[in-house]
Amino acid sequence: MNSGRRAAFLAAIAAAFGRVFSEVGISLMVGGNIRGYTRNITTGIAFETGKGEFAMGVALGVVLLAVALGVNLLVGAFSLGRRAR
């Protein structure tokens, strides 16, 4: 991997890392963490790991990753379909 690609790859990793922290922080500040009303999956992960329920936090993280992967696959499939026309 040349140095330009390596720098771009590291920049993408740093941006993703920052995005993860900001998403959880913003969800907690804006939405709160009221069960049944304002709890979303990112605040659920933070809440469960804060209680020491790491297995549940990891399980919620896997669900979040699966949803993100599914959405990205759908968007990719639709964009490939549009290009083929």
56 touches 48 (CB < 8 A): yes
- Tens of pLDDT, residue by residue over 14-65, are 787 777 767 767 777 776 667 777 777 888 888 888 899 999 999 998 998 8
pLDDT score at 14:
79
Please tell me the distance from the alpha carbon of residue 76 to that of residue 39, in angstroms, as a whole number: 29
What is the pTM assigned to this prediction?
0.61
Residue 1: the pLDDT is 59
* Residue 56: partners with Cβ closer than 8 Å, 6 or more residues away: 48
pLDDT of 5 reads 81
Checking if the pLDDT of 67 tops 80, the result is yes
